[in-house]
């Protein structure tokens, strides 16, 4: 089945009413996925039949009277990467902890994928990966700076420190689908950076558009669904996910004595207490029983 990720920063006058109507539209077209709605816009990933997803994107465009069509990042999945359809109301559609930062009013310069390699090749340009550290470990661009964050909320602290030493350097920023780097560039402009660029459509659009012989991406790209990661061809990658901490796990991680399926991995073993281990063991047992029955276990994580 097809999977499409999309977002748009804009002023939503009635986000609550929009959320209800959008949930109904997605259910009518039998889609699965998650869409976040806030006063600053919407951000989502949905899966289903291509014609159904195009119908919902068209519904959003018509409902909000958008002047430009929604440009999604399309990938594929062998099976449904989501278990349900949820449209959720949030304070931010990507949680920077700064709802006052409004990219649709001021943001960096979009760089289409075909022009991105020129920034990578310019030694004066500081390339910044705006994603979390566990995503960077799965794959990134050459010489990209890793902010070492565990959540996007931590990015402003990294940005403030970077501004102390590198405010005069051009910045080239990127993320999975474009939304985090777009909001991050707005923050960087506020901090005094003058030349701020971001990869239009994110890594997924780059992998979709750039031919193999010109592709500079190293590794796989983490995605926030059950596929865990996609490779350079946008096919499902070779990572699985730890059910305890949600980190992506490589073949080396799976071979570690600290890995216990459904319970722990090398990244979270030191934070695992006996009570949580027992709960995770029980959840894993229920998952296995459901699998034997041919059911999908949906429980707390």
Hey, what CATH topology would domain 109-219 get? Oxidized Rhodanese; domain 1 (3.40.250)
Structural domain spans, the chain: 2-89, 109-219, 241-293
Task: Give tens-digit pLDDT for 71-88.
Answer: 999 998 888 889 999 999
Q: What is the pLDDT of residue 278?
A: 83
Hey, what CATH topology would domain 2-89 get? Alpha-Beta Plaits (3.30.70)
Q: Which of 27-31, 169-173, 207-211, 282-286 has the lowest mean pLDDT?
A: 282-286
The half-sphere exposure of 121 on its side-chain side, counting CA atoms within 13 A, is 7
Tell me the two tokens of residue 71. Answer: 């440009």
CB 250 within 8 A of CB 239: yes
Neighbours of 157 (CB within 10 A): 11
Task: Give tens-digit pLDDT for 94-124.
Answer: 999 999 999 999 999 999 999 999 999 999 9
pLDDT category, 241, cuts 50, 70, 90?
confident
Give the rounded percent of residues in the chain with a pLDDT score beyond 90. 74
Of 53, 272, 99, 236, the residue nearest 262 (C-alpha): 272
pLDDT category, 291, cuts 50, 70, 90?
low
Q: What is the pLDDT of residue 301?
A: 27
Task: Give tens-digit pLDDT for 260-284.
Answer: 888 898 988 988 888 887 887 887 6
Of 12, 62, 56, the residue nearest 37 (C-alpha): 12
Q: What is the pLDDT of residue 226?
A: 83
pTM of the model: 0.82
Residues carrying an active site annotation? 175
Q: Where are the alpha helices (DSSP H) in the chain?
A: 15-28, 50-63, 113-121, 133-136, 155-166, 179-190, 202-209, 251-254, 274-293
């Amino acid at each position: 089945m097809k999977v499409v990720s999309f977002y748009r920063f804009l002023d939503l006058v009635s986000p609550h009413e929009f959320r209800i109507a959008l949930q109904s539209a997605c259910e009518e077209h039998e889609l699965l996925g998650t869409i976040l709605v806030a006063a600053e816009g919407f951000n989502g990933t949905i899966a289903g039949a291509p014609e159904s997803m195009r119908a919902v994107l068209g519904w959003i465009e018509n409902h909000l009277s958008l002047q430009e069509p929604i440009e999604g990042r399309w990938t594929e999945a062998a099976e449904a990467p989501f278990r349900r359809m949820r449209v959720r109301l949030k304070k931010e559609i990507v949680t920077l902890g700064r709802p006052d930062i409004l990219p649709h009013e001021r943001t960096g310069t979009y760089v289409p994928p075909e022009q991105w390699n020129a920034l990578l090749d310019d030694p004066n340009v500081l390339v910044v990966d705006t994603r979390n550290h566990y995503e960077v470990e799965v794959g990134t661009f050459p010489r990209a700076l890793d902010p070492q964050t565990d959540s996007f909320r931590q990015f402003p602290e990294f940005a403030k420190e970077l501004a102390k030493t590198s405010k005069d350097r051009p910045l080239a920023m990127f993320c999975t689908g474009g939304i985090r780097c777009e909001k991050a560039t707005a923050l960087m402009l506020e901090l005094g950076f003058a030349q701020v660029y971001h990869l239009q459509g994110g890594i997924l659009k780059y992998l979709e558009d750039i031919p193999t012989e010109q592709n500079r991406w190293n590794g796989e790209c983490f995605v926030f669904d059950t596929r865990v990661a996609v490779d350079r061809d946008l096919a499902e990658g070779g990572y699985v996910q730890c059910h305890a901490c949600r980190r992506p796990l490589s073949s080396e991680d799976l071979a570690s004595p600290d890995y216990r399926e459904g319970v722990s991995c090398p990244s979270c073993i030191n934070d695992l207490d006996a009570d949580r281990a027992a709960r995770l063991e029980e959840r894993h047992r229920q998952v296995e029983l459901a699998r034997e029955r041919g059911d999908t276990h949906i429980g707390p994580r």
